[in-house]
Chains A and B, each alone.
Chain A
Amino acid sequence: MKKFLQRSAPWLFLAIMLVAVSPPVSYGQYASAKHPAGRALAQPAADAPGTALKEVLTTLEKSYHVSFNYDDDVLYGVYVKDKFNWSKSEKLEKVLARLLTNFQMTFQRIDRYNYLILAKARANQKESAALSVPPTIGDGLGSGYEPRAMNSPASLRVPVDLIISGTVTADDGGALPGVNVLVKGTTRGTTTDSNGKYTLNITEGENVLVFSFIGYNTVELAVENQSTIDVVMETDILTLNEVVVVGYGVQEHKDVTGAVGSIKGEKLVQSAVPSVDQALQGRMSGVYVTSNSGEPGGGLSMRVRGIGGLGVSEPLYVIDGVIITYSASSSYGYRESANNPLATLNMSDIETISVLKDASASAIYGARAGNGVVIITTKRGKTGAPKLNFESYVGVQKVAKKLDVMNASEYAAFSNDARSAAGLATNAKFANPSSLGEGTDWQDAIFRSAPMQNYQLSLSGGSENNQYYISAGYMKQDGIIIGSTFDRYSLKLNLDNKVTNWLKIRNSLTLSRSYNQSLTNNNGDRYAGIVAQALRRSPTLDVYNGDGSWAGPDASDTPFVGLINNPVMLATLNYEPNERIRALENLSAEVTLHKTLTFQTSLGVDYILTNYDKFKSTFVEGTLSNAKAEATSTKSTLANLLAENTLTYKNTFRGQHALEVLAGYTAQLSTSEYVSALSFFHLTNELKTIDAGQPDPTRLASGGTSQTSYVSLLGRVNYSFKDRYLLTANIRRDGSSVFTSANKYAVFPSFSAGWRISEENFMKSNNFIDDLKLRASWGQVGIDGSLGIGTEYSTIASGYKYNFGHTVVNGMMGNRVANPSLKWETVTQSDVGIDVGLFDNRLSVTADYFVKRYENMITKKALPIYAGMVSDAWYEDVISQPINSATVENKGLELAVSYQNRTSGGFAYSIGANMTTFKNSVIKLEEDIIGGGVGNTDPGNLTRTKQGRSIGEFYGFVTDGIFHTQAEVDAANALSPEAGVYYQSVGTAPGDIRYKDLDGNNTITDADRAYLGSPLPDLSYGFSGNFEYKGFNLDILFQGVHGNMIMNVNRYVLESSTDGENKAIGMVNRWTETNPDSNFPRAIATDPNNNDRASDRYLEDGAYLRLKNIQLGYTLPKAITQKLRLSNVKVYLAAQNLWTVTNYSGYNPDIGTATQNNTSYGIDNTIYPNSITFLGGLNIGL
């Protein structure tokens, strides 16, 4: 192409003139262009009738709010003969092309605000400078040209005294080509070559070199008789975030009309956390991240723009172009949801994360984009010398908070009270409570200081045509509870090869092996959850017996201390390793069919092998024991194949109409399989394999396979007129195996428009608004994942057995009602947004208002029993049919503000804040959804989702203090005129909780339950600051939520009236006859008043503000680094979760949904607590 251009330059000029010249320009004016430009010699400056080119450029700089960087040598003595005219409606690139072409110069666009002006000879030599628009000739014909390309040796017409040479590298260690090296005070200099090397001759007295390059801070260095001067240049923070990754491509930020949040990987690694989603918390508006467990490798929930589905609603993840699928209904669902699939990704390899928030941005992903799309791209090599980077940190974590519970003597006293009140015998051992002292602090016994460490080695670089990025990483994090750990090995290989000038091959490969030894927290189950048991186990019991064996209750203890197992024993015996081996690969080829037309084909593979084992040991601790060893071993695989073909057409017409059209065709097939085996009665606890269990008939096996497939057509049109009026339309037609032939295909359209007001003439005169863009979008996307596999099929189940002639025979019959007309859930979203850049773009503001409506949501319509369908062998389950019925709406506001600056004193800083607020309302729901089940902890289901309210509101009784006196109890009972009807219960006595009689019938029944509050925050926010000064940097991130409630399930047990489990310290001050004013209920073993029913007593304000991350770093001065023959050395100290402000009394107010289910948000069922982490890090660049 290039050769063609060169050969045919004159013809091309003509052709382009005919096509591209704007109407006001008269033909006659450019007739003179027939003189080959640049042939004329420059006029001497003195009698030059025109304006210096430099001056013209300065005017353009002001006008277009850009800056030009050039070697003064190049512009020296160059004059524009006539007045150079341009109109601000003209695209800058065109103006420049018009202007410069006459001087045998060209320009390179470095980023949005910076341009490099180059002599053409150099540009050709480098071969990398490409004109982004064809050169045209305008009315301002250039006349002067001085052939003094700055890196031409001929240009150095000075006596040589000293030859200085060296290498210029970037702060990330890579060689930096094209850096201007100038002798200060002169116009002489050179530029670095493709390896970042330069050579320069200087004369006596010229002592200072100035190194400058777009996007980097200028460096001045004294020569001081050195002959080698190597320089490391630092990135200028003002030039970040230029290009935004969107679905199937990238877009310049200025052209984006949808709502897309984007963050660089380098920001994320400031939080030394194992997983991507953890690092996103508080960083982006519209993205609500909550932790479901503090366990290493534990799960998180991410919700984009509110809460949608009535079940799981994680966003769609696209990693290096591969659409990730996870089977929503796994047969070992709890494990799957608790473990985080993103934990397999190495944070240090991530280049950017984009979150497609509105329908305009996400519609290109169609049927699966309803919950938002998260696009993750990984780092790639860049042309230049090899860069070897080593990053590491080591740290220690400790539990962020302990709960204050009773000690042994306090608990014994409580037990005595509770049992006496109920007329039950007390424990002889508790006869003198104060003699029991402190006893065991079970929290201390299970929590520990746990180390974590991370190492990453990467090598990147490449030639003009081949670039590579290779990395190896290792991360290990022990849990703050004994027995839990997480580690990960990862390898990354990204290759970009330009095979010919029309074919590029791109390879992205990630291999990883992650392993976690998980402590089954069984959702806080009081009998299996490790934290629950540490809180509830009696402090009067020991950890070990004198002989080192596990201590437990003896026969006399058992009635008084319950059946809570020794948590230290459980954690120590715990064996639940979960290993994931993953290969994620995307191989693509890009074919340039024409300069405007590109074809890309890719094949993506995501293969995950999971080995999950679990062993329940036998044990004896006092009278508690388990005699039945049990092993399960599950192997599961997920094979996800994705083939995509896209065709992109990109062109500009008449210099004003920019058009980009994308069309694509994709197919995807995901197969997940598992085999699980179970065995019992192992000979010893050491032999944990299935084979070591008793053979037949107690060995059991199960397994299954499921598949989903997609075939999709997609298209997008981006059009901009004069760079001011932007239009985007997306469409995707998805076909999915999830739905029946009637609704197999669905079409998801979206439209958006942007108006860059700042480009309008009337805005040009102001000098503080650099960028002002209004955006609006509307679109529809879908959700299909809430269904599970094969919902369209009515299935036949076996197991309906019977016996004939004493022989068991199987029976088979339909067990599921299909819905042949079932279709996708549709999410319709409207968004209006504004992007503002002020004060040289130092201050930027992005705000969006959105309305996101989920319609045709799939709910279960109960079928009458007389229809005769039975789904289970017990004939108990309710039979339902999936139907499209419910509607949920989220309306919200997002705001992100950032300010960045660098003072002349070298102090650079950026501060940013983001906030999101949304209101969730269930517009239509036929049947209330009861949710928030908390297993075998007393209160049962805690939430209820009802039409007209928001999803998953807490539901229960409303407390009204406690009865302080018998008179109060009597008065309440007297309210009812009916004999034998009590206000609450026949056994209600002073010290019991009083509930409000909401229905006014003078007795407390289920009808007195009410909606108590929502777990969804009114506001979630984050703010961050980055400060740099003379090698020091300080990064901080605060994050928090406001206006949400948390149900503190721990307190149902810790503050209940019943004995058998340890109590919160507050219960020391419980109601007694001598302490009648207490607000803590009395102790009574039988709890006749049912004080631990689901009520607002245990509901707490969930607001918090947390110093999520703080890092103080120091980058060694170049002088020292160079001596060490390194390009970059940085050391830092960091802390996470260092400081939290909250009124919440549990371990951690950052409560998501342990089951990933939207109807179970905000329930603190004794999850694995979070930790405070301190760490030190070292980054070295070679």
Chain B
Amino acid sequence: MKRIYLIASAILLFTTRCSDDFLVRAPQNQITTESFWKTDQDAILAVNSIYDALQTDMGYRLGGFMFGDIPGDDMACFDGEWFVAHDNFTVNSGNLQVKRAWRAWWAGVARANVVLNRVPPIEMDETLKQRLLGEAKFLRGVSYFNIVTIWGDAPLMDHEMNNEEIFAVTRQPQAEIWAQVEQDFLDAEALPTSIPGEEGRATKGAAKAFLSRTYLYQGKYQQAADKAKEVIDMGVYALHDEYIKNYQTQHENGVESVFEVQFVAGTGGWGNNEGNWVPSYSGPSGSSYVASGAWGIVVPSASSKNIYEANDKRRAVNLFEEGSVYNNIPYDPKWSQTGLSLAKYIVGDLPVITEGAIDAERNMPIIRYAEVLLIYAEALNELNQTATAELYLNQVRHRAGLDDLSGLSQDAFRQAIMQERRVEFFGEGHRFFDLRRWGKLKEYVHDIANKENYIEPKNLYFPIPQDERDLNPGLAQNTGY
């Protein structure tokens, strides 16, 4: 009998199949896509990761220098590993730094798309959900704003794409991208005015201000003016009484700050950390102004000390030059090839010494209220309201210790705005793009700054990384590259 049982159990053993679950072994050290996207916490964490893209080196840390300042006439680079090619317009489709920026902004777009696709089904507090979706739209808008200003035409990826779609995209005309940017900022206007305790998150004001800038870049002056006025009328923002406060840790996310990229110090040495390395990148090389010793990768061009009107308080904030003293140490012009160093990301605070000595606390300003005022002023002038425009321009001049301007012709006002933006946003990533939209690149960059390699239309935009075109031959290259 026993054998019969045995035979039976043998047959049973043979015919019993493990359930299919036995063959499902999800990674236990990582959360899978399947198990994520369940709670409000998941949604928050995912949105946080979009902000992280802004913080990357070639995102908003150095990206502003690389595209907005160095190719212009006021900033220079002598370090071949970094931005010499951007300075002298030898940049090509193999440029590593361009590729790194490309990576940062597309990460922003893709992450926002994922959030916009996967957060809506999550059961969570509706107000929080809407806010997070608004932040994602804002951040997608910011990312696309950078993409369209740096590279022009771009793949329009307005939803989370599968691989097939990804390989099939082509570059859409700028106008379509701009429309997407406008829509995202419009949607993001629903964001709250402030999120106390979480300074740095996108707000209603940030969305409106970015939208205003978006209109301005497209020459949509009426809309730019309207939107800037909305920001002004919010009554939330004002100019700091002193220009330098924009670059002081104690005043960060202050009254003038509409949107800035957040950093904190002391999160870990030379590794990946949350500190701002810009003081080390821009500080006078070999000085003790920055605990790391600084590398002077980005330096003001020698001519940039000549752009200031007398008594402009901003000069001392923007430039270390012969006679400057910081932390009781006189500036030595030998610390820079041009005899000048960019001061604004250093001068506001004393050196921060943490392990590795490079992760500074300072935030990077992206939109300040001063820009809203100047957008409004510029747009009004283009809308033939020069007199009104002067009021807003003069607010900025006044804070810089300069006399008010009045009775300017429309054209003279244009010149004044150009000068004011140049000085006010020195080293904040605006100059090249401003010159481009004013049609002044050739004049200032090629003729005045003597950058002989500059040609149009090639150098109006930057090259699409060749590696990307190898993977997707459908991506056209910008003219001239």
Contacts and interface: CB of A to CB of B under 8 A. Distances in A.
B263 A803 contact: yes
B15 to A, nearest CB: 9
Contacts of A744: 20, 23
A803 B468 CA distance: 31
Given A793-B34, A868-B111, A875-B103, A863 B13 contact: no
B32 to A, nearest CB: 4
B471 to A, nearest CB: 5
A591 B169 CA distance: 64
Contacts of B42: 812
Interface string A340-356: 00000000000000000
B310 interface: no
Interface in B8-41: 10, 13-14, 17-18, 20, 22-34, 36
B201 interface: yes
A707 B104 CA distance: 34
Contacts of A647: 10, 14
A294 to B, nearest CB: 35
Contact of B107 (A645, A710, A868): A868
A794 interface: yes
A879 B172 CA distance: 24
A737 B29 contact: no
B264 A796 contact: no
Contacts of A802: 48-49, 51-52, 55, 200, 262, 274
B391 interface: no
B272 interface: yes
B110 A803 contact: no
B155 interface: yes
Interface string B101-114: 01110111111011
B29 A811 contact: no
Interface in A806-853: 806-815, 817-818
Contacts of B113: 868
B274 A868 contact: no
Contacts of A711: 17-18, 22-23
Interface string B33-66: 1101000001001111111110111000000000
Contacts of B27: 706, 789-790, 793, 795
A875 B22 CA distance: 36
Nearest to B143: A868
Contacts of B22: 667, 669, 709, 711, 737
Contacts of B55: 802
Contact of A804 (B200, B467, B471): B200
B33 A810 contact: no
Contacts of B468: 864-866
Interface in B54-111: 55-57, 99-100, 102-104, 106-111
Given A708-B25, A789-B25, A869-B110, A814 B52 contact: no
B173 to A, nearest CB: 17
A863 B162 CA distance: 11
B200 A790 contact: no
A157 interface: no
A800 interface: yes
B274 A736 contact: no
B30 A865 contact: no
B198 A798 contact: no
B472 A665 contact: no
Contact of A875 (B47, B107, B201): B107
A801 B163 contact: no
Contact of B18 (A663, A667, A799, A805): A667
A867 B106 contact: yes
Contacts of B17: 711
Contacts of A809: 48
Nearest to A879: B103
Given A793-B26, A802-B55, A804-B199, A864 B48 contact: no
B166 interface: yes
Nearest to B103: A865
Interface in A1089-1139: none
Interface residues of A, number: 65
Contact of A810 (B13, B48, B108, B467): B48
B198 A805 contact: yes
A864 B110 CA distance: 12
B106 A868 contact: yes
Nearest to B262: A803
A704 B107 CA distance: 27
A735 interface: yes
B48 A811 contact: yes
Nearest to A697: B268
B116 to A, nearest CB: 13
A866 B264 contact: no
Given A801-B274, A868-B111, A793 B32 contact: yes
A804 B36 CA distance: 23
Nearest to A868: B110
B448 interface: no
Given A796-B36, A810-B45, A865-B465, A874 B272 contact: yes
Contacts of A811: 45-52
Given A711-B22, A711-B23, A868-B107, A797 B100 contact: no
B114 A814 contact: yes
A705 B29 contact: yes
Interface string A1026-1045: 00000000000000000000
B402 to A, nearest CB: 33
A704 B29 contact: yes
A744 B163 CA distance: 21
B10 A817 contact: no
Contacts of B195: 804
A600 to B, nearest CB: 9
B62 to A, nearest CB: 13
Nearest to A600: B10
B197 interface: yes
A706 B28 contact: yes
A875 B33 contact: no
A967 interface: no
A601 B10 contact: yes
A1036 B111 CA distance: 66
B303 to A, nearest CB: 30
A599 B10 contact: yes
Nearest to B249: A806
A800 B52 contact: yes
B45 A798 contact: yes
A795 B10 CA distance: 41
B29 to A, nearest CB: 4
Contacts of A874: 272
A502 interface: yes
A862 interface: yes
Contacts of B128: none
Nearest to A807: B264
B198 to A, nearest CB: 4
A789 to B, nearest CB: 6
A870 interface: yes
A805 B199 contact: yes
B167 interface: yes
B145 to A, nearest CB: 16
Interface of A: 502, 591, 593, 599, 601, 645, 647, 663, 665, 667, 669, 704-711, 735-737, 741, 744, 789-790, 793-815, 817-818, 862-870, 873-876, 881
27 contacts: A593-B10, A599-B6, A601-B10, A645-B14, A665-B13, A709-B23, A711-B22, A737-B22, A789-B25, A789-B27, A790-B32, A795-B30, A795-B32, A801-B48, A805-B197, A806-B264, A811-B46, A811-B50, A864-B167, A866-B155, A866-B166, A866-B169, A867-B161, A869-B110, A873-B272, A875-B56, A875-B57
Given A811-B48, A870-B53, 10 more contacts: A667-B18, A741-B20, A790-B25, A790-B30, A802-B55, A802-B262, A804-B200, A811-B46, A864-B166, A876-B100
The 10 lowest CB-CB distance pairs between A and B, nearest first, are A868-B110, A811-B48, A811-B49, A790-B27, A737-B25, A800-B49, A813-B49, A804-B198, A812-B45, A800-B52
